Amino acid sequence: MVSRRGNVDIARGSRTGHEPLRSFNVGMREMKNAPAYANGRLFFRNEKGGLACWQIGE
């Protein structure tokens, strides 16, 4: 989940619920767009055109 204030929560989901794995702040505010995932990286973009990339996989 991504908040408008740049907080990201990564969790493992299942039929019975979810298990939080990691939380971090992207360092940007006004995030209203869904993140994109490619090649083990999460890409975030805010309303002002800022871009951030976080390595989360191998």
Query: Which of 8, 33, 32 shows the shortest CA–CA distance to 21?
Result: 8
Domain count, the chain: 1
Question: What was the pLDDT predicted at 43?
Answer: 92
- State how far the Cα of 32 lies from the Cα of 35, in Å rounded to an integer: 9
Provide the domain limits for residue 35: 7-55
Q: What whole-number distance in Å separates Cα of residue 49 and Cα of residue 26?
A: 14
Say what the pLDDT of residue 16 is.
Answer: 93
Cα distances (angstroms) measured from residue 52 to each of 10, 16, 28, 40: 16, 32, 8, 14
Residue 45 lies in a domain: yes
Return the pLDDT at 8. 86
Is the distance from CB of 28 to CB of 46 less than 8 angstroms?
yes
Assigned domain for 2 exists: no
In a domain, 21, yes or no: yes
- Distance from CA of residue 23 to its chain's centroid? 9
pLDDT at 15: 94
For the stretch 13-49, pLDDT in tens is 999 999 988 888 888 888 778 889 999 998 988 888 8
Per-residue pLDDT at 36: 92
Looking at residue 4, its pLDDT comes to 75
- Report yes or no on 1 lying in a domain: no
